[in-house]
Chains A and B, each alone.
Chain A
Amino acid sequence: SAVISQKPSRDICQRGTSLTIQCQVDSQVTMMFWYRQQPGQSLTLIATANQGSEATYESGFVIDKFPISRPNLTFSTLTVSNMSPEDSSIYLCSGEGAYGYTFGSGTRLTVV
């Protein structure tokens, strides 16, 4: 199955700043997704990253807050913009291909 490298693995950021998270897949995947896992909670889908076009966001998530890029079939970025302490979460990317789903190891974000 595919392997996703996600970085950074963790970061502590000041409120009002932005952080960009990167995911690199070692093989082409059909679809890529970004999830958020708040403390003690399960995973919630933020958006579907579409290659070469704007991402498709779920209810409650907007492009201005979570801009996403996917320039090719193996790479995607998620930016958490104008951060507040409520954005402290684990962010995970996922890829779906012929093998099924694979997930990155997650980015643990703390906003202070």
Chain B
Amino acid sequence: KQEVTQIPAALSVPEGENLVLNCSFTDSAIYNLQWFRQDPGKGLTSLLLIQSSQREQTSGRLNASLDKSSGRSTLYIAASQPGDSATYLCAVSDSGNTGKLIFGQGTTLQVKP
């Protein structure tokens, strides 16, 4: 059974810092991996999607990497801003491409001005 773990559970940094969020999964047979952002009382916003054949994806100040063989992904946020404060969720889609997502517990990020 696929399990997704995110470390740390919470993180507080001063504005301007670069930071890394970690995600690990137990079964390397995935179709893709995604990073989402969840703001309090809101739904999820997709940030980056990495297909199983890819190593990384970039969007603005965000860079996500994927090492499928070791079951790890990282989300790098450059020059953090208070607006980046949110919960970040990692999710994997199984190799059968059923569309089902298995989520990690999330990392709650606070960026202090």
Contacts and interface: CB of A to CB of B under 8 A. Distances in A.
How big is chain B's contact interface, by range?
20 to 34
A104 B36 CA distance: 13
B42 to A, nearest CB: 6
Interface string B63-82: 00000000000000000000
B43 A48 contact: no
Interface string A82-112: 0000000000101010001111111010000
- Classify the interface of chain B: helix, strand, loop or mixed: strand
A33 B43 contact: no
How big is chain A's contact interface, by range?
20 to 34
Interface in B32-50: 34, 36, 41-46, 49
A45 B100 contact: yes
A103 B106 contact: no
B109 to A, nearest CB: 15
A33 B100 contact: yes
Contacts of A92: 43-44
Interface in B58-111: 89, 91, 98-106
A100 B46 contact: yes
12 contacts: A6-B43, A30-B99, A41-B105, A43-B91, A58-B100, A94-B44, A96-B99, A100-B34, A101-B101, A106-B42, A106-B43, A108-B41
Given A42-B106, A104-B43, 13 more contacts: A1-B46, A4-B43, A30-B99, A31-B99, A42-B89, A42-B105, A43-B101, A45-B100, A45-B101, A58-B100, A101-B101, A103-B43, A103-B45
Interface of A: 1, 4, 6, 30-31, 33, 41-45, 48, 58, 92, 94, 96, 100-106, 108
